[in-house]
Amino acid sequence: MNRQNNAIDCELYFCPDREWLQQAWTELEARSEPNIFLSWLWIGSWFNSLVGDYYVVEAKINNEVVGLGVIITRTDSYYRFFRGVPCYLHRIGDELSDQAWIEYNDFLMVKGQEDSIRHEMITTVMQEIVGNGKFIVGASHSEVTATMLDNYGIESIWESYTYQIDLELLRDQNKTLSEAISRSARYQIMRSIRLYQEYGELKVSTADSVEEALAYFEMAKPMHIQRWGDQLGQSGFCNPQFTRFHEMLIRSGVPLGHVRLHKITAGNELISIMYNFHWHGRVTFYLSALNYDLFDKHLKPGMVSHFMLINMAMEQGFSRYDFMAGTARYKRTFANSTSSLYVYEMRKSKSLLALKNKLRYVKHQLSEWR
């Protein structure tokens, strides 16, 4: 038990009862302000579809649970050499298992004391299971590691901008989406809409049942594979772990109204399948599958689809439309707000981080000499 802070006690448990974890998580979630990725909807689907052995780190104040996190450990030869193991927060630690890709990752914590609770939880993980290995946290905002900078060696190993549209700002400015975007973007979108209307009426159909949502998900498969590739590590639809997770997420999330799959059509022609989350007044865009088989370079299936869904979000009173991480041009076209996400590696020893960076430099120099 870590008692560096008298008010916060942390315990680490190996493979505790899964039903206990679900109950503890949902009770804490009700006292927190989690994003969709820290809800039991996401964590539970990930946990039940992909997780084998695991640790749970639990923080308490006055015997009341104030923080929870699921830690996965795995062994690779590099870290066996240093007598340590890699540990991951809410990730498995291999490319295929993590292709679903959690963002805004953090511990689940009661609101109000996040910095101090997070500090104690990270300290417990670092002291009790990381050893001379590494603790990987992300994709997360920078505050997740901000309080630990003086304690450990911390390195950002991945970073990206994340893009959002603040819909409340548009309302305050009394602007429509068309008025908020650039003249060039508006022209391209409206031209594309006119071309699509030659096929028939533009329509957004939203899956109202689990069965319909799963059918939309299956409908997305060939278009997504055509765009991203049919090999493992390319389109997630070629990865059984990815599809197993999302089928479970859809089954759990559609009845609650938190998982929304949309089919956008022009007459009888399919434009796209859009996969979004609706959570606490925010629309989060997760995945699109776009039809590029209509041969006209002026057709913009992605931009038109987002244009329609953002306007729908405005009409339904949502406060934000979040594109999440990635630097695709269409995100910059619509966004009026940006932030950054990172994946961090933390090590107990700053000297090990320095050694790693030195080895990386030597490897780079050797490759330059070849």
- Which tokens go with 310? 């953002």
107 and 193 both lie in a single domain: no
Give the pLDDT confidence of 142-197 residue by residue, as tens digits: 989 888 888 899 999 999 999 999 999 999 999 999 999 999 999 999 999 999 99
Higher pLDDT: 356 or 31? It is: 31
Range of the domain at 353: 2-152+348-369
78 and 194 both lie in a single domain: no
Query: Percentage of the chain with pLDDT > 70?
Result: 90
Q: CATH no. for residue 298?
A: 3.40.630.30
9 domain residue, yes or no: yes
- Which tokens go with 103? 């963002």
235 domain residue, yes or no: yes
50 and 105 both lie in a single domain: yes
206 domain residue, yes or no: yes
Give the mean model confidence (pLDDT) for residues 82-94: 86
Give the mean model confidence (pLDDT) for residues 4-12: 81
With a cut of 70, say whether residue 368 has pLDDT above it. no
Residue partners of 71: CB distance under 8 A and separation at least 6: 12, 54, 55, 56, 57, 87, 88, 89, 125, 129
With a cut of 90, say whether residue 355 has pLDDT above it. no
Integer Cα distance of 169 and 159 in angstroms: 27
With a cut of 80, say whether residue 370 has pLDDT above it. no
What pLDDT, on a 0 to 100 scale, did the predictor assign at position 59? 98
Integer Cα distance of 181 and 303 in angstroms: 12
Give the mean model confidence (pLDDT) for residues 129-152: 90
189 and 328 both lie in a single domain: yes
Work out how many domains the chain is built from and give that number: 2
Q: CATH no. for residue 120?
A: 3.40.630
136 and 201 both lie in a single domain: no
With a cut of 80, say whether residue 1 has pLDDT above it. no
Give the pLDDT confidence of 225-235 residue by residue, as tens digits: 999 999 999 99
Residue partners of 206: CB distance under 8 A and separation at least 6: 260, 261, 262, 263
352 and 234 both lie in a single domain: no
Give the mean model confidence (pLDDT) for residues 92-114: 96
With a cut of 50, say whether residue 366 has pLDDT above it. no
273 and 184 both lie in a single domain: yes
Give the mean model confidence (pLDDT) for residues 292-321: 97
Encode burial over 141-179: b for 16+ CB neighbours within 10 A, e otherwise. beebbebbeeebbbbeeeeeebbbbbbeebeeeeeebee
What pLDDT, on a 0 to 100 scale, did the predictor assign at position 81? 47
What pLDDT, on a 0 to 100 scale, did the predictor assign at position 356? 55
Q: At what angle do helices 40-50 and 240-253 cross, to 10 degrees?
A: 140
Integer Cα distance of 149 and 121 in angstroms: 15
116 and 208 both lie in a single domain: no
Give the mean model confidence (pLDDT) for residues 190-214: 98
270 domain residue, yes or no: yes
User: Distance of alpha carbon 142 from its chain centroid, rounded?
Assistant: 15
Give the mean model confidence (pLDDT) for residues 115-143: 94
pTM for this predicted structure: 0.91
192 and 330 both lie in a single domain: yes
With a cut of 70, say whether residue 348 has pLDDT above it. yes
pLDDT band, very low/low/confident/very high, at 84 (cuts 50, 70, 90): low
> Which residue type sits at 232?
L
158 domain residue, yes or no: no
327 and 353 both lie in a single domain: no
Give me the chain's average pLDDT, please: 92
Give the pLDDT confidence of 252-295 residue by residue, as tens digits: 999 999 999 999 999 999 999 999 999 999 999 999 999 999 98
63 domain residue, yes or no: yes
What pLDDT, on a 0 to 100 scale, did the predictor assign at position 6? 58
8 and 96 both lie in a single domain: yes
With a cut of 60, say whether residue 357 has pLDDT above it. no
Give the pLDDT confidence of 36-58 residue by residue, as tens digits: 999 999 999 999 999 999 999 99
pLDDT band, very low/low/confident/very high, at 359 (cuts 50, 70, 90): low
112 and 172 both lie in a single domain: no
Are residues 153 and 84 in contact, defined by beta-carbon separation less than 8 angstroms?
Answer: no
Integer Cα distance of 347 and 204 in angstroms: 48
CA distances from residue 57 to 1, 114, 242, 322 in whole angstroms, order as listed: 10, 15, 26, 29
With a cut of 80, say whether residue 352 has pLDDT above it. no
Smallest Cα–Cα separation from 137: which of 158, 151, 116, 117? 158
23 domain residue, yes or no: yes
Are residues 24 and 65 in contact, defined by beta-carbon separation less than 8 angstroms?
Answer: yes
Are residues 100 and 287 in contact, defined by beta-carbon separation less than 8 angstroms?
Answer: no
Q: What angle do CA 127, 53, 98 make, to 5 degrees?
A: 90
pLDDT band, very low/low/confident/very high, at 131 (cuts 50, 70, 90): confident
Higher pLDDT: 370 or 23? It is: 23
pLDDT band, very low/low/confident/very high, at 75 (cuts 50, 70, 90): low
157 domain residue, yes or no: no
What pLDDT, on a 0 to 100 scale, did the predictor assign at position 362? 44
Backbone conformation region of residue 317, classed left if phi is above 0, alpha if psi is from -120 to 50, else beta: left
